[in-house]
Amino acid sequence: MAFYDSEDTLQQVAGRYLREGLSLGERLFAVVSPGTRDLLRAALGSDAAGQVDWATDISFRDLGAVSHGYRRLFRERREAGTTVRLISEYHDDVHGTPNVDRVESWVRLDAAGNEVLSPFGHRWACLYDVRTLPGPLLDRVRRVHPAMLRADGPAVGNPDYLEPADYLAAHPERLPPVPGDTGVDLVLHTAEQLRDLRRALRDWIARLPVRARGVDPSHGGAVLLAVGEAATNALQHGHPPVRIRAWAVDDGVRVRVDGRSDGAIPATAGYWADGSTGIGLLLVRGIADTVRVVTEDGVAGVGLEFRPGS
């Protein structure tokens, strides 16, 4: 991890990290904002910058896809016998200005990355601009990275680091409120009713005003898949009835899946496969932009958010 507060600091820290990778013969990848990309290219010079893959198919448009994309990249490179060095920077491809709630969701995925990505044996580093994020959120960022990059020497251990499971448990998720008027409101008692859910969601998405709501009906398949998995998970691992509500917001679609539960869903559920839960939430977290899970008063609630083009 590297915090930076100026363009010079960014170029020094990230440039040193990337040049070190080149000296070790590693394959370099960068998933950063266009502005950071230009600064790093200038810092590296044309020859070194030409050896960095700046055009991966991984985009911060959907956070779940970023996490899934990093896992896929690391797995494919290991199978190819290539050692990877990745530099990553949270940035909002849609709005530009960071949304605190969304960044918090990314920090949770960032924490889980220490469990999910470490077995592949590659290196990765995350950049954070301290000028764009509030102090309490930066404190959370600091707790999910085991080492900190420096411009004038090797990385040093981070004494504030928490193991992924400990961080996730210490920072429970919060569900956004459900408005009184929703586009879809269904109650399921059996798995056979999932077809009614898919039909209702499909018809509702098709009626959404694309430009006003920022949702493209032609990409509704991801919404149907993720919501269907979340509802199936609630029916299989909880108790019916399961209630599903969906509504439009200015920058996408939100969905809430509520079902009865005998106990709290583990804080790590869906972040990695550990055998304690099914793979439904793991799949859902790889599709939606953000996924939040809360158990309260015997009810397990799953909140999903999809951005334009999901």
pLDDT tens-digit map of 274-308: 655 557 888 999 999 999 999 988 899 999 999 86
Running DSSP on this structure, what letter comes out for residue 216?
-
Does the pLDDT of residue 219 top 90, yes or no? no
Neighbours of 274 (CB within 10 A): 12
Look at residues 228, 254, 269 and name the one whose alpha carbon lies nearest to residue 108.
Answer: 269
Q: What is the pLDDT of residue 198?
A: 95
Q: What is the mean pLDDT of residues 122-151?
A: 94
- Please give the structure tokens belonging to residue 135: 């102090």
Is 0.85 surpassed by the pTM of this model?
Answer: yes
Give how far Cα 267 sits from Cα of 59, 112, 164, Å: 26, 11, 10
Are 259 and 268 in contact by the 8 Å Cβ rule? The answer is no
Within 8 A by CB and 6+ apart from 239, the residues are 259, 260, 261, 262
Q: Summarize pLDDT for 295-304 with one digit per residue, the tens.
A: 988 899 999 9
Look at residues 284, 277, 294 and name the one whose alpha carbon lies nearest to residue 62.
Answer: 284
Where do the domains of the chain lie, and which CATH numbers do they carry?
A: 2-170 (3.40.50), 184-306 (3.30.565.10)
Are 58 and 89 in contact by the 8 Å Cβ rule? The answer is no
Look at residues 60, 127, 139, 148 and name the one whose alpha carbon lies nearest to residue 99.
Answer: 60
pLDDT band (50, 70, 90) for residue 24: very high
Under DSSP, is residue 147 helix (H, G, I), strand (E, B) or coil? strand
Instruction: Give the separation between CA 86 and CA 45, rounded to whole angstroms.
Output: 18
| Beta pairing class for 299-306 and 290-296 | antiparallel
